[in-house]
């Protein structure tokens, strides 16, 4: 069992903070120690040993993610440090994915207003996120294997919860756990398709062969949401709602969405609005042949619109600093499913009021930001006795403690003793859908049948949902 009380020691790593949990295992912020007093902060992704005994493919899925990350080194992709087997006296060799720890927030958290509902971002801030995401996708889509052959890599799980924004406003794409490539050890079954509604392309929904243009469609969905402050389509309210939402996604008409986007961008430079609307519209074409051919082509067109990326990154940086100050003063917000957690359903469009306007700065906001950036570091916490890993087993007859997520890929309804530092607002889960369901979708049928496999399991990495 994975540790439920922290800190805990696993080899040369001291697990100090639970970042996220799910059906496969958990991700921790950890302190790595080495010779001569060396210490480093990392993110440690672990598979639950009990689940791995029942399904050995979970370990292969973790190895797949490690192999892919080793081939996509890029400033806008979370970096792999190592993939290790850590010796443990009772658990044996524990596979662990050691990742770059990125202080910041997910895009899903950044885009939420004070009441927890999504709001529209200024175009410059949205543009900065989209620009960095496209740069990461361009690199990933061109990745090669060890013999120099194209991997055909497709992320397959782009969504706001898998886009990390650091404290300088730069993006890291997270979670290549269900990414498709030609050399995966664990492949999706021939009659299945995988992804997270509503962040799936039409061809992904119907189980067709995928290339990078599938990721571009999903980035178009994200672009629409960032600029409009509302969902492209509704989110499913449970497994039985999947087919209805999938149908909405497949049947969505760009002409209707175009009007919404134009209305949301009222007041912006007219020529830029026309360019942005046309750019998003190309990404959201149902036929992948009508989309940009590559992420680089989409990035070139976005660059031509003249968005001030640096101003956008400053806005994002200020937003994260302000939110971290709120968390520091008020404590962490409740996790999804806990009392007081906010609803994740889409809301009507709202104008972003999250900080100073792009290109203009009010004196009180300037003073606040200077204060935030100049504040001294927090004093170190009082020493805490390190507990062994894993957590002690319950006494006979006692109620077993809640695990970090069930086989459904969702977190356990009972929160662990050490909650994640920040809530993951994007609570949507990766689903494995039988193609018979998708055939039913095309015919206008009823409820969905949902399955789960090794690389469906959900964890959260630094506040984001990670599907490994």
Q: Which residues are catalytic?
A: 157
Torsion, Cα 342 240 466 1, to 10 degrees, reads: 100
Q: How many beta carbons lie within 10 A of that of residue 254, not counting itself?
A: 17
Torsion, Cα 39 43 47 48, to 10 degrees, reads: 80
Peptide bond between residue 196 and the one before it cis (omega within 30 degrees of 0)? no
Residues 289, 208: Cα–Cα separation, whole Å: 14
Q: SS3 letters for 183-245? A: CCCCCCCCCEEEEECCECCHHHHCCCCCCHHHHHHHHHHHHHHHHHCCCCCCCCCCHHHHHHH
- Whole-angstrom CA distances from 229 to 117, 142, 206, 344, 387 are 9, 32, 28, 13, 44
The residue length of the chain stands at 468
DSSP strand E in 336-380: where? none
8 Å CB contact between 289 and 203: no
8 Å CB contact between 188 and 435: no
Q: How many beta carbons lie within 10 A of that of residue 432, not counting itself?
A: 19
CA 108 distance to own-chain centroid: 8
């Amino acid at each position: 069992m994975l540790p439920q009380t922290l800190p805990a020691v696993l080899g040369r790593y001291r697990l100090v903070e639970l970042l996220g949990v799910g059906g496969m295992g958990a991700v921790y912020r950890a302190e790595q120690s080495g010779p001569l007093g060396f210490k480093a902060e990392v993110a440690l992704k672990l598979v639950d040993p009990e689940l791995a005994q029942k399904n050995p493919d979970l370990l292969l899925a973790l190895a797949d993610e490690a192999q892919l990350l080793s081939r996509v080194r890029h400033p806008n992709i979370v970096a792999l440090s190592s993939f290790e087997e850590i010796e443990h006296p009772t658990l044996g060799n524990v596979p662990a994915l050691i990742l770059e720890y990125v202080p910041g927030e997910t895009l899903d958290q950044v885009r939420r207003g004070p009441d927890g509902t999504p709001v529209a971002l200024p175009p410059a801030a949205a543009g900065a996120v989209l620009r960095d995401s496209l740069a990461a996708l361009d690199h990933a889509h061109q990745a090669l294997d060890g013999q120099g052959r194209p991997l055909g890599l497709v992320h397959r799980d782009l969504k706001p919860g898998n886009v990390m924004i650091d404290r300088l406003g730069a993006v890291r794409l997270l979670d290549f756990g269900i990414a498709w490539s030609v050399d995966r050890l664990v492949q999706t079954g021939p009659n299945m398709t995988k992804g997270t509604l509503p962040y799936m392309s039409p061809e992904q929904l119907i189980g067709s062969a995928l290339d990078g243009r599938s990721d571009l469609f999903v980035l178009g969905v994200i672009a629409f949401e960032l600029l409009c402050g509302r969902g492209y389509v509704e989110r499913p309210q449970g497994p039985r709602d999947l087919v209805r939402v999938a149908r909405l996604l497949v049947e969505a008409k760009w002409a209707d969405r175009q009007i919404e986007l134009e209305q949301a961008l009222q007041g912006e430079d007219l020529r830029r609005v026309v360019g942005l609307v046309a750019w998003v519209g190309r990404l959201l074409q149902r036929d992948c042949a009508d989309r940009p051919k590559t992420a680089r082509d989409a990035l070139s067109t976005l660059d031509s619109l003249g968005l001030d990326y640096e101003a956008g990154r400053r806005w994002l940086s200020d937003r994260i600093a302000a939110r971290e100050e709120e968390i520091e003063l008020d404590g962490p917000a409740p996790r999804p499913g806990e009392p007081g957690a906010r609803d994740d359903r889409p809301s009507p469009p709202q104008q972003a009021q999250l900080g100073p306007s792009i290109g203009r700065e009010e004196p009180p906001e300037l003073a606040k930001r200077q204060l935030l950036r100049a504040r001294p570091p927090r004093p170190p916490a009082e020493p805490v006795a390190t507990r062994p890993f894993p957590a002690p087993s319950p006494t006979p007859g006692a109620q077993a403690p809640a695990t970090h997520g069930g086989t459904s890929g969702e977190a356990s309804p009972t929160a662990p003793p050490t909650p994640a530092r920040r809530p993951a607002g994007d609570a949507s889960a990766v689903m494995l859908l039988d193609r018979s369901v998708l055939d039913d979708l095309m015919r206008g049928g009823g409820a969905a049948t949902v399955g789960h496999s090794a690389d469906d399991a959900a964890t959260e990495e630094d506040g984001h949902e990670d599907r490994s």
